[in-house]
Chains A and B, each alone.
Chain A
Amino acid sequence: MNGWLIGATVLLAASAAPLWIVFRSGIMDALVGLELAAVLDTLAVALLAEGFHRQSFFDLAIVLGVLGFIGSLAFARFLERWV
């Protein structure tokens, strides 16, 4: 158990806050909460990769960062008018 794993645990626990926003408030607030949760979980995956000394798992964090961005962009685009 080193500092990196503690940091990852704290980040994963903290992502409960934006997820609370996702379930409790309006659709646009939920989108902002989703985006913040995606950033928190991306950093949590990066810290887990560092904590377990598995350098190849940083690719997971990079892909999650890019896909989180693309997914939220698609949500934002369709929430303008069509959904």
Chain B
Amino acid sequence: MTARHVVAGALLATGIGIELLSCLGVLRARDAYDRLHYLGAASTLGAALVCAAVLVNEGFDQAGDKAVLLAVILAVCGPVLTHATGRAARIRAAGRFTIHDTERERADEPAG
């Protein structure tokens, strides 16, 4: 049980803990917009920690490099997907993405 395994185990446990917490958050949230917050955390932070655990355990060989690539892919795709889903939910609910005139709180805001 070298120090490397201890650090990899700790990173792995933290990453999986974050994934479990985001699952719990998705279960508890009320609507799609709230659930998107937990999706962002799971795909960026959780994935980065899990892949860091693999990297620490493997070093920079084939598996380590692929784990880094996987973390980069998930970290780039996560926010893009979160925005696309929020946009789809907004357009599905309100017909278009921009603010409706009826939703404008102050009269002096510029029109749509």
A39 to B77 CA separation, bound complex (whole angstroms) = 10
> How close is A28's CB to chain B, nearest CB, in angstroms?
4
A80 to B54 CA separation, bound complex (whole angstroms) = 38
| Size category of the binding interface on chain B | 35 or more
- What chain B residues lie within 8 Å of A65 (beta carbons)? 70, 73-74, 77
What does DSSP make chain B's interface, helix, strand, loop or mixed?
A: helix
Interface residues of B (CB under 8 A from A): 9, 12-13, 15-16, 19-20, 22-24, 26-27, 31-32, 35-36, 38-39, 42-43, 46-47, 50-51, 54, 57-58, 61-63, 66-67, 69-70, 73-74, 77-78, 80-81, 84-85, 87-89, 91-92
Given the interface contacts A10-B16, A20-B27, A69-B77, does A43 sit within 8 Å of B50 by beta carbon? yes
Is A61 in contact with B81, judged by CB distance below 8 angstroms?
Answer: no
What does DSSP make chain A's interface, helix, strand, loop or mixed?
A: helix
- What chain A residues lie within 8 Å of B67 (beta carbons)? 46, 50, 58
Pair count A-B, CB < 8 A: 139
- What chain B residues lie within 8 Å of A28 (beta carbons)? 32, 85, 88-89, 92
| Size category of the binding interface on chain A | 35 or more
A46 to B31 CA separation, bound complex (whole angstroms) = 30
CB-contact partner of B46 in A4, A43, A61, A77, under 8 A: A43
A43 to B73 CA separation, bound complex (whole angstroms) = 12
